Chain A
Amino acid sequence: MSETILEVINLKKHFPIRGGILLRQVAAIHAVDGVSFNVQQEETLGLVGESGCGKTTLGRTILRLVKADAGTVRYNGRDLFKLDKREMQKIRLEMAMIFQDPYSSLNPRMTMSDIIGEPFDIHRLAKGQEKKNRIRELVEKVGLAPFHIYRYPHEFSGGQKQRIGIARALAGNPKLLVADEPVSSLDVSVRAQILNLLKDLQEELGLTYLYISHDLSTVKHMSDRVAVMYVGKLVELAPSKIIYKDPLHPYTEALMSAIPVPGRKKREKQIILKGSVPTPIDPPPGCRFNPRCSYRQPICAKEDPEFIEVSEEHFVSCHLRK
C-alpha cells in the first residue's frame, strides 16, 4: 500500500439547534459523530450513504470549510485543525472541492476565465500573461474550447459547467480532491463524460479523490475502496471489489440489495428495510441501525459497536462480526 495522504481520527461535527427566548441550545444534529478512516495516495475512496447521513458535512469538515467539534484530520502528517490561518491557506492549494450543483456553485456574474482564474489571484500564483496561459491550459485539460473563456455560466450546459468547476478545482495543482456528488445533477450521457474526465485527470496528475455520492453504481465504477455511512457514523469500509460482493454490515447488505440493476428483472434476494433513516437529532441508542436491522440482538440497542478491522482491509462496526 502506498502512503497515507489523509488521516481522519474520531471526527465529530454537531450542529446546534437553538430554541426558546434566550436561543439556548436545545438539541444538536449529530451530523458527523466519530468517524475515522485513512485515504491513501492516488486512490479513490468512495463515501456512500443515504440523504442526511452526514456525508457532505464530513467532506466539508475535512477541508475545514465547517469547523469540527472534535477529532483530528491529518493531511500528509500535519494536523489541519492546529494550523493558523496563513498556513491553512497555503495547504488549501493542495486540497480542493468539486461541488454537487454546477448551476449554483458558479458565480453568474463572473466569466469562465474569472472563475478559473480566481484561485490564481487569491493565492497570488500568477498574473498577467502567465495567468492567462495557465487558465488556457486548464480549460483545455478539462475538454472545453479556449474561445469560450469570456462567456458567462448561463451560456454553458450542465456538463460544461461541471467541467468549469473541475478546472477551478485544479487551479492550485491540488493533490486531494473532494468530489461531492459531481455528476448527480447531470444527464446520463453527459455523466459518462465527466466520470471519464475525472479518471483521466487522476491518472495524469496523480490525484487522490474522496468521492461522495449516494449512487452506488457510479461509486463502484470510480472507487478503489468504499466507506458506507449511516446517521453520522461509518458502518463499513472495504475495497470496492469486496464490499459489493460480500458486504458484512446488515445495512450495507440491504443497501446493495436495493440497487435496481438494468436488465435484471428478478432479484435473487432482496432485503427491504422497514421504516426510514432515523433523524440525526436524536439517534437511536446503541447501534444506530438496530431499529431497522433484521439480525438485531439485545446488545445492539445498548452498546455502540466499535469500528474494527475484521479481515484484511475490511472494517465494520457490528456486534455480529466480532
Chain B
Amino acid sequence: MSESTLITINDLKTYFFITEGVVKAVDGVNLDINKGEALGLVGESGCGKSTVALSIMRLIRPPGKIVGGEIWFEGEDLLRKGESEMRQIRGGRISLISQNPMSSMNPVFTVGGQIAEAIKLHQNVQRREIKGKVAEILDLVGIPDPSKRMEDYPHEYSGGMCQRAMTAMALSCNPQLLIADEPTTNLDVTIQAQILKLMKKLRKDFGASVLLIGHDLGVISELCDKIAVMYAGRVAEYSDLMTVFEKPKHPYTQALLESIPRLDVEEERLRIIPGTVPRLINPPPGCRFHPRCEQAMTVCSKQDPVLTEIEKGHKVACFLYDSNVRTKPQV
C-alpha cells in the first residue's frame, strides 16, 4: 500500500443468506482509491456495485453478511472495527449519498434539522453556531435562500434540491471519502448537469476522494479519473478512464461499450450481448461472463480468472491476456 492510497479493498466477499440459497453479491472484489482521486464503479443492475458501497460503510443488514476480505482505510481495517467506532467514521470520515434522495431523508424532520444532526454528531460545534453552519453548507450546494429553506420538510423540495441537500449533508463533515451511489439516476438531464457540476466543484474545493457508482458511462466519464467495471460480483476491468474507452480489454467491457447508443457515433445496429446477467445464487463456474462471451475458451468455464495488471495501471480479469493459458491468438 503506497503513501497516497486512501482505501484498499482486498478480496471482499459479501453474501446474502436467503431461503433459496446463498447470493454471492460481492465475491472477491479488489479495489484501491488514492487520495483525491475519483473512481467510477460501473456495472448493470444486480452486479453488486451498491453492495460494495454498503460493505465499505458496514451497513449490510441480515440476511446479508460480509464473510471475508479486508477494507483498509488509512491503515485500519474497517471490517475489524466495533460498531461504536464505525459510527464515528460513517458520516464523518466516509459519507454516502444514496440513490433515491427523496426516500433517504426522514419526512417528519426538516431538511436543516437532519443536516444539523450530522454536524452535531461528528463535529465540535457550539449549539448556537449550528444553524449558521447548516445555512452555509446549503448555500454552498446552491439552495436559494438557505436560512429559510432549511426549515422546510423534504416533500417541499424538488428532486434536484433534495439531491443537493443530501450532498450538503454528506459534505457537512468534510469526509475523506465520499461514496455516491447513482446520485443522478432519478434526475432529469438538465438537473443532472447541475448536480455533476456541483460535485466537480466540491471535489476540487474539499479534495475528497470519490467512489461514484453508476451504470451511466457518460456520468462516470465526466467526474472520474479511474474506472472499474463490475460483472456478477467481481471486477472485470480496472484502469484509467480514457484507457477503458479507447482500448477496452475485457470482452464484457468491449460488448458493453458497443451496446449503448452513442451521440457521437452513427450506427444502424447496436451490439447485443446474448443472454442475461446471471443470477448470483448459482453463478456459472469459472469466469462468470463465459456463457455470454464470444471469445470463451475451455479454460474459462473451469478456472476463475484473476485480476492481473497487463499494462501499468490497467488490470483485467480474463484468460485472453494470460500467457500461460492462452491457446488461441489474441483478438
Residues of B within 8 A of A267 (CB): 222
Q: Is the CB of B190 within 8 A of A260?
A: no
Residues of B within 8 A of A259 (CB): 189, 218, 263
Q: Is the CB of B269 within 8 A of A270?
A: no
In chain B, positions 36-94 with a C-beta closer than 8 Å to chain A are: 44-45
Given contacts A188-B259, A270-B193, contact A195 B188 (CB under 8 A): no
Q: Is the CB of A260 within 8 A of B259?
A: no
The docked-state distance in angstroms from the alpha carbon of A260 to that of B212 is 15
Residues of B within 8 A of A190 (CB): 276
26 A-B interface contacts by CB (under 8 A): A50-B191, A157-B276, A159-B276, A187-B215, A188-B44, A188-B256, A189-B44, A189-B256, A189-B273, A192-B271, A214-B188, A217-B262, A217-B263, A221-B261, A221-B270, A254-B190, A255-B189, A257-B193, A260-B193, A260-B196, A260-B221, A262-B260, A270-B193, A272-B190, A272-B193, A273-B193
> Which of A188, A196, A257, A260 is within 8 Å of B269, CB to CB?
A196
Q: Is the CB of B263 within 8 A of A272?
A: no
Is B1 at the interface (CB under 8 A from chain A)? no
Within the complex, the shortest CB–CB distance from A242 to chain B, in Å, comes to 14
Residues of A within 8 A of B242 (CB): 263, 265
Is A86 at the interface (CB under 8 A from chain B)? no
Is B160 at the interface (CB under 8 A from chain A)? yes
Interface string of B255-285 (1 = CB under 8 A from A): 1110111111001111111001100000000
Residues of A within 8 A of B190 (CB): 50, 254-255, 258, 272-273, 277
Name the residue of chain B whose CB is nearest to the CB of A263: B245
Given contacts A192-B270, A216-B189, contact A262 B160 (CB under 8 A): no
Q: Is the CB of A260 within 8 A of B264?
A: no
In chain B, positions 203-259 with a C-beta closer than 8 Å to chain A are: 215-222, 241-242, 245-246, 255-257, 259
In chain A, positions 236-266 with a C-beta closer than 8 Å to chain B are: 244, 254-255, 257-265
Q: Is the CB of B246 within 8 A of A263?
A: yes
Q: A265-B222, A276-B161 are in contact. List 17 more A-B contacts (CB 8 A).
A: A50-B189, A50-B191, A189-B256, A189-B272, A190-B276, A191-B259, A191-B260, A192-B271, A195-B261, A216-B263, A217-B261, A254-B190, A258-B190, A260-B192, A260-B196, A260-B219, A276-B160
Is A193 at the interface (CB under 8 A from chain B)? yes
Is B123 at the interface (CB under 8 A from chain A)? no
In chain B, positions 180-195 with a C-beta closer than 8 Å to chain A are: 188-194
Is A202 at the interface (CB under 8 A from chain B)? no
Name the residue of chain A whose CB is nearest to the CB of B46: A187
Within the complex, the shortest CB–CB distance from A217 to chain B, in Å, comes to 5
Is A51 at the interface (CB under 8 A from chain B)? yes
Residues of B within 8 A of A191 (CB): 259-260
Residues of B within 8 A of A263 (CB): 217, 221, 241-242, 245-246
> Which of B45, B160, B193 is within 8 Å of A187, CB to CB?
B45
The docked-state distance in angstroms from the alpha carbon of A273 to that of B160 is 12
Q: Is the CB of A220 within 8 A of B261?
A: yes
**A positions within 8 Å CB-CB of B:** 50-51, 157, 159, 187-193, 195-196, 199, 214, 216-218, 220-222, 244, 254-255, 257-265, 267, 270, 272-273, 276-277
Q: Is the CB of A261 within 8 A of B218?
A: yes
Residues of A within 8 A of B257 (CB): 262
Given contacts A214-B188, A255-B189, A272-B193, contact A262 B218 (CB under 8 A): yes
Give 4 nearest A-B pairs by CB, closest first: A260-B218, A263-B245, A221-B261, A262-B217
Is B103 at the interface (CB under 8 A from chain A)? no
Is B197 at the interface (CB under 8 A from chain A)? yes
Name the residue of chain B whose CB is nearest to the CB of A195: B270
Within the complex, the shortest CB–CB distance from A204 to chain B, in Å, comes to 14
Within the complex, the shortest CB–CB distance from B64 to chain A, in Å, comes to 22
The docked-state distance in angstroms from the alpha carbon of A260 to that of B223 is 10
Within the complex, the shortest CB–CB distance from A236 to chain B, in Å, comes to 15
Residues of B within 8 A of A187 (CB): 44-45, 215, 276-277
The docked-state distance in angstroms from the alpha carbon of A273 to that of B221 is 21
The docked-state distance in angstroms from the alpha carbon of A260 to that of B215 is 12
The docked-state distance in angstroms from the alpha carbon of A259 to that of B192 is 9
Q: Is the CB of B255 within 8 A of A260?
A: no
Name the residue of chain A whose CB is nearest to the CB of B45: A187
Within the complex, the shortest CB–CB distance from B274 to chain A, in Å, comes to 8
Residues of B within 8 A of A193 (CB): 272
Residues of B within 8 A of A272 (CB): 190, 193-194, 197
Q: Is the CB of A189 within 8 A of B259?
A: yes
Is B158 at the interface (CB under 8 A from chain A)? yes
Given contacts A258-B190, A262-B260, A264-B264, contact A196 B270 (CB under 8 A): yes
In chain B, positions 149-206 with a C-beta closer than 8 Å to chain A are: 158, 160-161, 188-194, 196-197
Residues of B within 8 A of A188 (CB): 44, 215, 256, 259-260
Within the complex, the shortest CB–CB distance from A230 to chain B, in Å, comes to 10
In chain B, positions 109-163 with a C-beta closer than 8 Å to chain A are: 158, 160-161
Residues of B within 8 A of A214 (CB): 188-189
Q: Is the CB of B188 within 8 A of A221?
A: no
Q: Is the CB of A273 within 8 A of B261?
A: no
Of B197, B263, B271, B276, most A-chain CB atoms within 10 Å: B263
Residues of B within 8 A of A265 (CB): 221-222, 241-242
